[in-house]
Amino acid sequence: MMFQSRNARSALFLFAAVCVAGVTAFGATPAASNEGIKSNHGWAIAIHGGAGENEWEHMDSATESAYHESLAKALAAGSAVLKRHGKALDAVEAAVKVLEDDPLFNAGRGSAFAADGKNEMDAAIMDGGTLAAGSIADVQFTRHPVSLARAVMEHTPYVMMVGPGADEFSRAQGLEQQPPSFFFTELRWQEFTSIMRASGRPVPPRPVGVAPAPTASSAPHLFVHRFGTVGAVARDSEGHLAAATSTGGMQGKLPGRVGDSPLIGAGTYASDRSCAVSGTGVGEYFIRLTLARQVCTLVEQGQTSQQAADHMIHDELPALKGGEGGVIVVAPVGDPIWSSNTLGMFRAKEVEGSGPDIHVK
Ligand code: ASP
């Protein structure tokens, strides 16, 4: 157990002291830089469950309705917060937690595997009202990585923590921990092993504690959902914006690889002055373009969020050969929008006064 020895307790005390000092010195919760920008445009939320190509060509109706149901559940969790005049930050966390628990998506339970057969999960959350942000990368045991990102934002002077240090912080925060077998799904493993074989790399042993490999006849029908990252953006009834993104990253990635999702400004960004953005796609391109921040910059310069997102997704992203993906965006005014240059993107939205709008295809 952590923090049980005297040295460890002293370390915890030191850490707490540094955090307290840090909160004061660095302002872990920055002053409300965007205060005064209030919206009378009602609450709004959008979520995504990743983008992709081939899977949209071959999606059968059972898969389609399973994704529809999952999106509806996650959207409802986020909308419920906003309906009772909760904060955008709480709404995006609530929606993403539901998606992280859902094995259909590549985040939390159902995450992709690194080349060594382990899950390395990344997540970020950002408060558009204060520009406070938290993110984590390469964590292996936290049931809800988005909540760990929020804990980094709220309980440390930092923005980002990674690897074993982030896992240890998660335990110290009392966040729910789970063994690798919890995050494992047969479907994602089959997808992983086929990618490893296709690229001529060795397939690592199945994680400890998971059921033996199914026989060919009982193997799950392989629905390869290439990206599968999840995210949410929201505007609350006070007009504040927030964004969150969570992912298992790319299947077969080298251990230690980090994508765009947890990088503030790349896959996740929120500012009440412009918009809140969550992305999905090949992270390396989103990082090079600081895509999420760039969408917000274009909005600040006068473009609508649709124009800004379309420019980044349909012009800038494909201009870098291999740049594929999509974003969801919400601004201080108007309905949430989305844009993707892939065949499909699982997405859904709801705005105050109207019902859920869910798109699987
Ligand atoms: N953007 C994620 C990454 O590069 C992948 C995804 O969207 O599914 O890690």
Give all strands (DSSP E) within the chain, no chain letters: 44-52, 121-127, 133-139, 160-162, 230-235, 241-247, 268-270, 276-281, 325-330, 337-340, 344-351, 357-359
pLDDT-derived band at 2 (thresholds 50, 70, 90) equals very low
Taking 80 as the threshold, does the pLDDT of residue 24 lie above it? no
**Same domain membership, residue 16 and residue 137:** no
Taking 50 as the threshold, does the pLDDT of residue 317 lie above it? yes
Is residue 50 lining ligand 1, measured as CB closer than 6 Å?
A: yes
Specify the higher pLDDT residue, 343 or 15. Answer: 343
Specify the higher pLDDT residue, 54 or 266. Answer: 266
Taking 70 as the threshold, does the pLDDT of residue 128 lie above it? yes
**Residue 198 burial (CB < 10 Å; 0-12/13-18/19+)?**
exposed
Residue 191 falls inside a structural domain? no
pLDDT at residue 5 in the model: 38
Mean pLDDT lowest among 124-133, 189-198, 296-305? 189-198
Token couple for 124: 């970020």
Give all strands (DSSP E) within 226-318, no chain letters: 230-235, 241-247, 268-270, 276-281
pLDDT-derived band at 323 (thresholds 50, 70, 90) equals very high
Question: Is 142 a catalytic site residue?
Answer: no
**Same domain membership, residue 247 and residue 310:** yes
Average pLDDT of the residues in 133-143: 98
Using most ligand atoms within 8 A of CB, pick from 111, 261, 277 the residue to mutate for ligand 1.
Answer: 261
Q: How many domains does the chain have?
A: 2
**Same domain membership, residue 106 and residue 17:** no
Residue 48 falls inside a structural domain? yes
Give the distance from CA 31 to its chain's centroid. Answer: 25
Q: Which atom of ligand 1 is nearest to the CA of 284?
A: 4
How do residues 50-95 score in pLDDT, each as one tens digit? 998 777 777 888 889 999 999 999 999 999 999 999 999 999 999 9
Residue 215 falls inside a structural domain? no
**Same domain membership, residue 60 and residue 14:** no
Is residue 231 lining ligand 1, measured as CB closer than 6 Å?
A: no
Is residue 110 lining ligand 1, measured as CB closer than 6 Å?
A: no
**Residue 241 near residue 270, CB atoms below 8 Å:** yes
Q: Which atom of ligand 1 is nearest to the CA of 229?
A: 8
pTM, two decimals, is 0.89
d(CA 229, CA 245) in angstroms, rounded, equals 7
**Same domain membership, residue 11 and residue 59:** no
How do residues 180-213 score in pLDDT, each as one tens digit? 999 999 989 999 999 999 999 999 999 989 988 8
Return the SS3 of 174: coil
**Same domain membership, residue 154 and residue 266:** yes
Residue 247 falls inside a structural domain? yes
**Same domain membership, residue 128 and residue 56:** yes
Which of 142, 229, 245, 268 is catalytic? The answer is 229
**Residue 316 near residue 327, CB atoms below 8 Å:** no
Report which protein residue has its CA nearest ligand 1's atom 8. Answer: 227
Domain that holds residue 15: 2-37
Average pLDDT of the residues in 145-163: 98
**Same domain membership, residue 347 and residue 255:** yes
**Same domain membership, residue 69 and residue 31:** no
- Residue located via tokens 């979520």: 47
Q: Which atom of ligand 1 is nearest to the CA of 258?
A: 9
**Same domain membership, residue 137 and residue 52:** yes
**Residue 125 near residue 93, CB atoms below 8 Å:** yes
pLDDT at residue 58 in the model: 78
Is residue 323 lining ligand 1, measured as CB closer than 6 Å?
A: no
Is residue 49 lining ligand 1, measured as CB closer than 6 Å?
A: no
Residue 202 falls inside a structural domain? no
**Same domain membership, residue 260 and residue 284:** yes
pLDDT at residue 293 in the model: 98
Helices and strands, counts by H and E, the chain:
12, 12
d(CA 250, CA 229) in angstroms, rounded, equals 9
Return the SS3 of 323: coil
Mean pLDDT lowest among 21-30, 154-163, 188-197? 21-30
230 Cα–ligand 1 center, Å: 9
Report which protein residue has its CA nearest ligand 1's atom 7. Answer: 280
Is residue 280 lining ligand 1, measured as CB closer than 6 Å?
A: yes
* 6 contact partners, CB below 8 Å, separation of at least 6: none
Percentage of residues in the chain with pLDDT exceeding 90? 78
pLDDT at residue 71 in the model: 98
pLDDT at residue 88 in the model: 98
Residue 210 falls inside a structural domain? no
Residue 306 falls inside a structural domain? yes
Residue 198 falls inside a structural domain? no
**Same domain membership, residue 59 and residue 31:** no
Is residue 281 lining ligand 1, measured as CB closer than 6 Å?
A: yes
